[in-house]
Amino acid sequence: MTILIPVLGDQLSPGLASLRDVERGDAIVLMMEVWDEATYVRHHKKKIALIFSAMRHFAEALRADGWTVDYVPLDAADNSQSFTGEVVRAAQRHKASAIRVVEGAEYRVRQFQDEWADRTGLPVDVLSDDRFVCPLLDFYAWAQGRREYRMEYFYREMRRRTGLLMTDEGKPEGGIWNLDKENRATPPRGLNYPPPERFEPDAITRDVMALIAARFGGHFGDLEPFGLPVTRAQALKALKHFITAALPDFGQYQDAMVAGQDYLYHSSLSLCLNLGLLDPIEVCRAAEDAYRAGTAPLNSVEGFIRQIIGWREYIRGMYWWDMPKFAERNALKATRPLPEFYWTGDTEMRCLKESIGQTRREAYAHHIQRLTVLGNFALLTGVDPRAISDWFLVVYFDAYEWVELPNVIGMSQFADGGMIASKPYVSSGAYIDRMSDYCGRCRYSVKLKTGPDACPFNALYWHFLARHEKRVSGNPRMSNMYATWRRMSPEKQAEYLDSAEAFLRTLEPAGDGWARQST
């Protein structure tokens, strides 16, 4: 009897369900680098390097632990370059009698897995992914029959379920569930920001980098320097570093943006969590321990834990709750092609230039850059949600469709009509100015409202509100803004609209082939 256990590129967890309760001698673990996965969107070079290197290191760790691993590298001569092709070949090669696999995290991959029984003629056991805190059936039970799916209520259930930051009496620590109000400080100038822990590439990573340079040279982004964590030991070091160096200030400055400071106090642990190198509960416990030991304040620790057992779990639940419809949603009927500068960084808007520049270098931008700058601009200008979603899926080292798509289509573009966000996340230049130091050295003036030298976000903001008045003005959270708009004279309104239109005419659409191969 030989059980074939395919382990996918984001399933790099020693405690993976498919690796439990199996005799090592009865099993072959299959890992596959395949062209189809690296190019269904043309991922950032650093992201492919990260995934291949982490996969190769994980295969080594499994072998050291007594498993037999059949690892198919990208350039193996007979690699069929698809998951299904490789599973069929491996099933034959090893005369497998059954297949056991953890469910793919993405809808697309689950569909492949559904074909495997027919394609191999073998029984296929698809196990639920219990690395998430909330099983999908429990999420569906929570979502069923609700009029609104607000994260906050879901989050409280996750706090109760995990016991994280709960008192013995079952109350939230500090008497309050959510301390976000304390988390909006602007960082003073000259702070010493703790850069995340980085790691020298070893021989495995250097081999992968050579492969990526040779085969994916035309993809977006810088491959070098490369210092991302690629093993569980490195991920644990990165976690420890974050807990001691950055967590204490994570809370108060989590909404800030500072030019040249790519990470501020953010953890950049999304890459380790999403690959499976770290477990969400162990990360949250490490933060909670810091609070209990008095080395990190409650507002930071609660804010951080909320991102993981609240937002991350909720986003995954919403993805599966609404797929495949989610990917097609376009409530605001936005059709503009993505502007070319998202790929080139060639824009005079400093907030965008900085955010895109660091995305190119690091394959990372933090949440507020993604939402308030990159997503906000696409929403204001009416970019097709699928085009901006593809961009996000390509460029970030933590981007897998299950987490990227609801964040982009839902939270940032309001294309789901308000399933995830209670109002469109639109803001003018004033908000970006308040939360960042970008505007000071921008060629545009954030104080000017209209005209060629005015911050484009200012007129675009009113243009957005005007063109979506019917759809959005009934939202109670938007009523103040619409009241302001309606108080303006028709001349003033026309000035805003004309200024926005003039700016929109300058946007160059991106050419074909950046995100997906041209056909």
Grouping H, G, I as helix, E, B as strand and the rest as coil, residue 317 is helix
- Closest separation between CB of residue 347 and ligand SF4, Å? 9
Structural tokens at position 306: 């909320």
Orientation angle between helical segments 83-93 and 107-120, nearest 10 degrees: 30
Grouping H, G, I as helix, E, B as strand and the rest as coil, residue 364 is coil
Grouping H, G, I as helix, E, B as strand and the rest as coil, residue 373 is helix
Residue 213 carries which side chain, given as an amino acid letter?
Answer: A
Q: Could you say which of ligand DLZ, ligand SF4, ligand FAD, none residue 376 binds, taking C-beta under 5 to 8 angstroms by partner kind?
A: none
The four Cα atoms 318, 319, 320, 321 give a dihedral, to 10 degrees, of: 40
Does the protein bind ligand SF4 through residue 4 (CB under 6 A)? no
Q: Could you say which of ligand SF4, ligand DLZ, ligand FAD, none residue 273 binds, taking C-beta under 5 to 8 angstroms by partner kind?
A: ligand FAD
Q: Could you say which of ligand DLZ, ligand FAD, ligand SF4, none residue 269 binds, taking C-beta under 5 to 8 angstroms by partner kind?
A: ligand FAD
Query: Tokens 């995305």 map to which residue?
Result: 359
Question: Do residues 231 and 186 make contact, with C-beta atoms less than 8 angstroms apart?
Answer: no
Residue among 113, 105, 78 nearest 5 (CA) = 113
Pick 303 or 429: Cβ nearer ligand SF4: 429
- Closest separation between CB of residue 503 and ligand FAD, Å? 22
In what helix (H) or strand (E) does residue 37 lie, and over which residues does it extend? helix 35-39
Q: Could you say which of ligand DLZ, ligand SF4, ligand FAD, none residue 499 binds, taking C-beta under 5 to 8 angstroms by partner kind?
A: none
Question: How far is it, in rounded angstroms, from Cα 123 to Cα 99?
Answer: 6
Pick 241 or 434: Cβ nearer ligand SF4: 434
Does the protein bind ligand DLZ through residue 273 (CB under 6 A)? no
Q: Which residues bind ligand FAD (CB under 6 A)?
A: 266-270, 273-274, 304, 307-308, 311-312, 315, 366-367, 370-371, 375, 392, 396, 398-399, 403-404, 407-408, 411-412
Pick 275 or 432: Cβ nearer ligand SF4: 432
Pick 9 or 221: Cβ nearer ligand DLZ: 9
Question: How far is it, in rounded angstroms, from Cα 11 to Cα 14?
Answer: 9
Task: Please give the order of strands across the beta sheet that includes 98-102.
Answer: 68-72, 27-32, 3-6, 98-102, 124-127
Within residues 37-96, the interface with ligand DLZ by CB under 6 A covers 37-38, 43, 48, 51
Q: Pick the binder of ligand DLZ from 42, 58, 104, 308 (CB under 6 A).
A: 104
Q: Which residues bind ligand DLZ (CB under 6 A)?
A: 8-10, 32-34, 37-38, 43, 48, 51, 104-106, 109, 400
